[in-house]
Structure 1
Amino acid sequence: MSILPDAKLYIDGAIRDAEGGKTFDIIGPWTGDVVGKAADASPADVDAAIVAARTAFDTTDWADNHQKRFELVSKMFELLVADRERISTLARVEAGAAIGAVSRAHVDMAVACYKDLLDLFPQVKWEKDYGIKGPEGYKSDRKVVYEAIGVVAAITPWNVPLYVNVGKVVSALLAGCTVILKPAPNTPGMGSIFGEWAEKAGFPKGVLNVITGEDPAMAGETMVNDPRVDLISFTGSSAVGRRIMEQGAKTLKRVFLELGGKSAKIVLDDAPNFQQEIAQSMLVFHAGQGCAVQSRLLVPRSRYEEAKAILSAAYAGFGDNWGEFDNPGHMMGPVISKRQQDRVKSYIDLGIEEGATLLAGGKLRPDKGGGFFIEPTAFGDVTNDMRIAREEIFGPVLVVIPFEDDADAIRIANDSDYGLSGGVVSASEERALNVAKKVRSGSISVNGGMCIAGDLPFGGYKASGIGREWGVEGIEEFLESKVIAIRVTA
């Protein structure tokens, strides 16, 4: 297994160690062994990053010089592309990505979506004319200008770290904000590398800062509570998102939250290639560690037994075609950590206790290696009130739920605390669209349409979050609007 270079802090334009040279171990999901070291930031290091970001925003032209920052963010993109081999290694060794997943969400999709943000930048409106209006003697020429909100703390997860880091950091920088990136403790290298790119690109001091740390909460809570930080952009669990909202209220901080999901894929009774559609619903990509994965499969009760049989056969056919580090055809590796492995297994045990039928998988797989392997798993005979149907498992666990008709499918899909994504499949586009429009989620695929892309806004309803990431809307999340009215005297 590869040994990664040390992940360093990047504060006020300098790549450096943490205070006192303190480090922590990076544990590789494939082996369970130490694969690298990362700087373990102290409260003083976090404060230094906040000071640097605040000073850069308040005393430089970063927020006003649109062309300068576009050129620098574009230069960082070139450096990222040139570093594809290294970031691919980070995705595999740190995050546990299988080779097949690297060429999709982990690296190639992140690169494509970064390019989308650059291409969208000219569409951002910095000023809007509202014309002359008002009572006689007080007519005013009005306009709204859009300005960067200020210092942004980007707190990111471990599941697809490059993709999420790009979505937050690049959007905020393009908007004119200064940024402090705090990656998850499991994947610090994929955050630290942004500091290296910023230094090589020639970013002004303090515009981008990166802090890593073993404690998952200390740095984040410090920034949430600090009035010098203007906005928190967080991707992670709904429970942590609620805590960030509570703490951020003390300073009336703007909070953007991209949280959990329990998305439903609805396969209607007239779905073309029904057997293929059910079979390809297996939840195996990156071991199901994605907030927008379709982890609830809703099928017509009239074809429920057929669907369960198809899935059982599909999982059996999939067999052991996963979990090999050097196999380019594999899309699934381990889960991120022992803690996550234990969590997923506890949900599998719970599903059995709740009375669901195990159609496939369900076991830990120590024979795959010393890391955190758990089989692709599917449950039938699931009702939507079971915890395995309601709570985000964040692992390779699919639940299959029957519905009576279209209205019942919509009811079940919406009977959830979450509303992030989903899908509908039907031979009738009109019928599928009618269902899609009634599902309360931030994005939904119709007949396999790609509803997540760098030029589209992404976010959720209900406990799935607040605000939108990606697209022009994702850049605009980091802007404030200011009304300017000039009295017309002539």
Structure 2
Amino acid sequence: MRAQDETPPVTGVSRLLIDGRLVGTSSTFGSVNPATGEVFAEAPDATAAEAEAAIAAARRAFDTTDWATDKDFRVRCLRQFHDALVEHKEELRELTIADVGAPRVLTYGAQLEEPIGLVRYYADLLAGHPLTEELGESEVRGQKHRRWVELEAAGVVGAIIAYNYPNQLALAKLAPSLAAGCTVVLKGAPDTPLVTLALGELIARYTDIPPGVVNVLSSSGSEVGELLTTHPDVDVVTFTGSTATGRKIMAAASGTVKRVFLELGGKSAMVLLDDADFATCAQFAAFTVCSHAGQGCGITSRLLVPREKHDEIVAMVAAVFPHITVGDPASPDNYMGPLISAKQQAKVDGLVRRAVDAGAKLVAGGESSGPGFFYSPTLLANVDPDSEIAQEEVFGPVLAVIPYEDEDDAVRIANNSIYGLSGAVQSASDERAIAVARRIRTGTLSINGGNYFAPDSPFGGYKQSGIGREMGVPGLEEFMERKTMAVVVK
């Protein structure tokens, strides 16, 4: 195992990982702590030339080493990586809180510790996953033929992630692509670069992953990402981010006909059927939309309620909001922290103001505060299902309550979206809730509070919420090619 003891600790000076070496750059950009609004560290600003070097290293590692074919070695390296993540999780926790603005409580779940489990999951899955499938013999023109299918690595992967859950997003791409035998160039988000760079440092210092197999970049602009999506030596692009950017990536990647996986936006609906426990559901809806200040693609930001119960349910949700603690994410007492940036804060506020102008009722919240980029938990009532606030992804702690007439109308409104990432259905009857859930065109659904999110659960969306699935067995096979072969039986 390599141990580059001369390198700084995980929370020290950040460096790129290119071809097995941790390297600095000639220029840097500031990483802002969203809870204070102040730059707290500098990140290396990779150039196109450095991105080219990373791609070349990944291509060389894939084409000239046995990484793609040595399954046992990959399992061992993934387990080393998992052990390093566990050993350094407290350093990563503090870095995630500062870089992402993630509340401390979330780092014990989806912001850090659950993603670490992804690496172990894929190491264990790979160890027992069959890479061949026998199709049996066939007879053609008097000869018998043995036929089979082999799974093999898809090649060089360009992985581009969003800012909101950088540990989850990076590891959900790194772990399965490495398990599959691919080599990777991973680009962190400009708003949260340090967490992703720290993962590269752990790989360089504490694993036997060969030089070039994993390369980690950060940059303040779009040039590096554009290069990854168009470069002929990149075989696969996997991207998490906005639908608008996903469309551009699909178009850019078409020139080289790359395989493209996209995990994009969402405008998920929580449907309260008329027999649901409204008080419990109101609490669930309020806390869900405020998780990580609403900065989650699968968060249920539309609450669909029976029209005759609209005002009653709105009052219940409004009564929950004062109990949601907002403030310094480093404090274990705070449930909700800041938005990622002043730009995002202004975007959320603009959407809320326009919603009110369009006829929605502002029941609670709708206020920015500082220092940092905080936005109060916000409740909008009597929202038109066709309005901007009901159609656009807000990525903020804003819940839009929409009344419906009957069950068919609720399903129609839930499906009235370009997105189809997640959702929820609440009813006194599991059978009734499941029947409604099956009519909603979305990739994941919580039924009566059920939690689907886990390393073995495929995650992804319908429609413009994306293409492909992350996690689970499909998340591994997204990074593999199927090769069908046959030989004459003698």
**TM-score, scaled relative to structure 2:** 0.95
1:245 to 250, 257, 267: 250
- Give the 5 Å matches for 1:28-107: 28-107=33-112
Equivalent in the alignment of 1:473:
474
> Conserved in 2, the CA contact under 8 Å of 1:311 and 1:359?
no
By how many angstroms is 1:398 displaced? 0.6
> Conserved in 2, the CA contact under 8 Å of 1:9 and 1:17?
yes
2-structure distance, mates of 1:300, 1:113: 39
Equivalent in the alignment of 1:194:
199
Q: Letter of the aligned partner of 1:295 in structure 2? A: S
Q: Gapped runs of 5+ residues in structure 1?
A: none
1:118 lines up with 2:123 in the alignment: yes
By how many angstroms is 1:123 displaced? 4.6
Q: Letter of the aligned partner of 1:134 in structure 2? A: E
> Conserved in 2, the CA contact under 8 Å of 1:123 and 1:472?
no
Structure 1 stretches (4+) deviating beyond 4 angstroms? none
List per-residue Cα deviations over 1:16-70 (Å, max 9, x = no partner): 112xx21111111011111101111111100000000000000000000000011
By how many angstroms is 1:341 displaced? 0.7
2-structure distance, mates of 1:100, 1:317: 16
By how many angstroms is 1:317 displaced? 4.0
2-structure distance, mates of 1:338, 1:447: 36
Equivalent in the alignment of 2:309:
303
1:423 lines up with 2:424 in the alignment: yes
2:228 to 223, 226, 237: 223
- Give the 5 Å matches for 1:265-304: 265-271=270-276, 273-282=277-286, 283-304=289-310
2-structure distance, mates of 1:123, 1:476: 14
1:16 lines up with 2:43 in the alignment: no
Equivalent in the alignment of 1:442:
443
> Conserved in 2, the CA contact under 8 Å of 1:348 and 1:362?
yes
Q: Letter of the aligned partner of 2:47 in structure 1? A: S
2-structure distance, mates of 1:192, 1:313: 41
| CA RMSD across the alignment | 1.3
1:485 lines up with 2:468 in the alignment: no
SS of the counterpart of 1:196?
Answer: helix
Equivalent in the alignment of 1:386:
387
Equivalent in the alignment of 1:209:
215
> Conserved in 2, the CA contact under 8 Å of 1:121 and 1:472?
no
Q: Gapped runs of 5+ residues in structure 2?
A: 1-9
1:131 lines up with 2:131 in the alignment: no
1-structure distance, mates of 2:341, 2:279: 34
2-structure distance, mates of 1:299, 1:325: 32
1:356 lines up with 2:363 in the alignment: no
SS of the counterpart of 2:100?
Answer: coil
List per-residue Cα deviations over 1:270-290 (Å, max 9, x = no partner): 11x321211221121110000
SS of the counterpart of 1:312?
Answer: helix
Equivalent in the alignment of 1:404:
405
**TM-score, scaled relative to structure 1:** 0.95
List per-residue Cα deviations over 1:280-332 (Å, max 9, x = no partner): 211211100000000001111121111011112222344xx211244212121
Change (3 A) 1:4 1:113: closer
2-structure distance, mates of 1:198, 1:280: 38
Equivalent in the alignment of 1:232:
237
> Conserved in 1, the CA contact under 8 Å of 2:385 and 2:402?
yes
> Conserved in 2, the CA contact under 8 Å of 1:5 and 1:37?
no
2-structure distance, mates of 1:316, 1:303: 22
By how many angstroms is 1:194 displaced? 1.9
SS of the counterpart of 1:106?
Answer: coil
> Conserved in 1, the CA contact under 8 Å of 2:341 and 2:373?
yes
Q: How many residues align?
A: 478
- Give the 5 Å matches for 1:320-339: 321-339=325-343
> Conserved in 1, the CA contact under 8 Å of 2:68 and 2:181?
yes
> Conserved in 2, the CA contact under 8 Å of 1:335 and 1:341?
yes
1:144 lines up with 2:145 in the alignment: no
2-structure distance, mates of 1:228, 1:108: 34
> Conserved in 2, the CA contact under 8 Å of 1:4 and 1:35?
no
> Conserved in 1, the CA contact under 8 Å of 2:71 and 2:127?
no
By how many angstroms is 1:188 displaced? 1.2
Deviates more, 1:329-338 or 1:3-12: 3-12
2-structure distance, mates of 1:82, 1:148: 29
> Conserved in 2, the CA contact under 8 Å of 1:316 and 1:360?
no
Equivalent in the alignment of 2:178:
173
Q: Letter of the aligned partner of 1:291 in structure 2? A: C
By how many angstroms is 1:213 displaced? 0.8
2-structure distance, mates of 1:477, 1:317: 42
By how many angstroms is 1:448 displaced? 0.6
Q: Letter of the aligned partner of 2:368 in structure 1? A: L
Equivalent in the alignment of 1:5:
12
Equivalent in the alignment of 2:5:
none
Q: Letter of the aligned partner of 1:82 in structure 2? A: E
Sequence identity (%) = 44
1-structure distance, mates of 2:322, 2:58: 53
2-structure distance, mates of 1:50, 1:13: 13
1-structure distance, mates of 2:459, 2:425: 18
> Conserved in 2, the CA contact under 8 Å of 1:148 and 1:176?
yes
> Conserved in 1, the CA contact under 8 Å of 2:11 and 2:91?
no
> Conserved in 1, the CA contact under 8 Å of 2:35 and 2:338?
yes
